[in-house]
């Protein structure tokens, strides 16, 4: 297994079938530095236009349609001492008649303490003078090329992943994407120092990271939606609008996961999901919303050894 240090020379505002910037073998590790959602790098230099410019694509040898690409998020190290957010809730997450009461959506700065691993407003807002947030790094936008020669904007998400902005996509998580084109063509970017559920101001704390991921092809694992796993949970991800459709996709995928990989009967899966499922909200700001259907591993039957 090889570790590649990938220095991007160009970035993309779509996830699509584009010429590979790097080719790796299944099981290889890639270390790369991201730029922020506005295309600004760790030195404050504008490198690419918004929204959410992606590093990649990375071609993974052996990946074919009908396979899954496993992405292990090994490490996310902050490489910039500043980040930014918007100063107001987004208009689509409050009652329509309340929008006129919201403050301006100014861009505001945050100071990132890379030693203490915290973030604080700079300058502080009255009432939040002592607000210091622990860093909880996450990848806002990543995924693979979609089928049929499509190219999806990095402002949205679909079956291939994209701008899902789910807090669970951080170090230690494993994520699977359905492969739709040869090589999978993996993209990565839009990293956040921390973020509340839903990305309801339209941003997390946008900044730059050195990200380490391991990319592995799982043959004939024919997925429809992204899936993930942490130390304690498994989760299915649905991306759509309206929000109930995203929930339906995630719920259906979890049901299929339990009845296939875990060998549960439809009745058993229904009983278990009905009582132990937890729903997490990913992005509710962009064109497609993200819902996550999550189950703690302690409730799952043990998988048989291959």
* CB 93 within 8 Å of CB 197: no
Per-residue CA distances from 292 to 61, 62, 192, 242 (Å): 29, 29, 19, 14
Beta strand 233-240 with 174-178 is unpaired
Question: 218 Cβ partners below 8 Å, 6+ apart?
Answer: 67, 68, 69, 70, 176
Which string of b and e fits 102-132 if b means at least 16 CB within 10 Å? eeeeeebebebeeeeebbbbeeeeeeeeeee
pTM value > 0.95: yes
Low-confidence stretches of the chain (pLDDT beneath 70): 304-306
| Nearest to 75, CA basis, from 270, 190, 212 | 212
Residue 302, pLDDT score:
82
| Per-residue pLDDT tens digits for 86-135 | 999 999 999 999 999 999 999 999 999 999 999 999 999 999 999 999 99
Which ranges of the chain would DSSP assign to H, the alpha helix? 243-260, 266-276
| Nearest to 9, CA basis, from 78, 42, 56 | 56
Q: Which residue has the tokens 């109930």?
A: 244
Convert 5-73 into a string of H (helix), E (strand) and C (coil): EECCCCCECEEECCCCCEEECCCEEEEEECCCCCCECCCCCECCCCCCCEEEEEEECCCCCCCEEEEEE
Residue 118, pLDDT score:
98
* CB 250 within 8 Å of CB 281: no
Written as six digits, the tokens of 262 are: 């875990």
Residue 306, pLDDT score:
46
Residue 253, pLDDT score:
98
Residue 305, pLDDT score:
52
């Amino acid at each position: 297994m090889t570790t590649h240090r990938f220095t991007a020379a160009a970035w993309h505002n779509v996830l699509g079938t584009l010429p590979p910037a790097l080719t790796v073998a299944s099981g290889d590790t890639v270390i790369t530095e991201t730029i922020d959602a506005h295309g600004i790098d760790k030195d404050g230099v504008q490198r690419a236009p918004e929204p959410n410019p992606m590093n990649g694509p990375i071609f993974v040898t052996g990946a074919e349609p009908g396979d899954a690409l496993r992405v292990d998020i090994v490490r996310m190290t902050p490489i910039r001492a500043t980040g930014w957010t918007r100063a107001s809730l987004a208009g689509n997450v409050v009652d329509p008649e309340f929008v006129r009461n919201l403050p301006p959506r100014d861009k505001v700065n945050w100071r990132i303490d890379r030693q203490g691993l915290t973030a604080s407003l700079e300058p502080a807002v009255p009432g939040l003078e002592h607000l210091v947030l622990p860093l909880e790094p996450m990848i806002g936008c990543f995924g693979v090329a979609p089928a049929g020669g499509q190219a999806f904007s990095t402002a949205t998400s679909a079956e291939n992943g994209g701008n899902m902005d789910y807090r669970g996509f951080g170090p230690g998580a494993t994520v699977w994407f359905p492969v739709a084109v040869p090589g999978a063509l993996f993209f990565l970017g839009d990293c956040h120092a921390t973020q509340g559920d839903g990305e309801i101001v339209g941003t997390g704390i946008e900044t730059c990271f050195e990200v380490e991921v391991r990319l592995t092809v799982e043959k004939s694992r024919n997925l429809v939606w992204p899936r993930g796993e942490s130390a304690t949970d498994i989760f299915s991800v649905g991306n759509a609008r309206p929000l109930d459709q995203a929930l339906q996709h995630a719920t259906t995928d979890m049901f299929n996961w339990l009845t296939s990989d875990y060998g549960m009967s439809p009745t058993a899966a229904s009983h278990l999901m009905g009582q132990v499922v937890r729903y997490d909200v990913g992005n509710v700001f962009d064109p497609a919303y993200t819902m996550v259907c999550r189950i703690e591993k302690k409730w799952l039957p043990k998988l048989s050894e291959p």
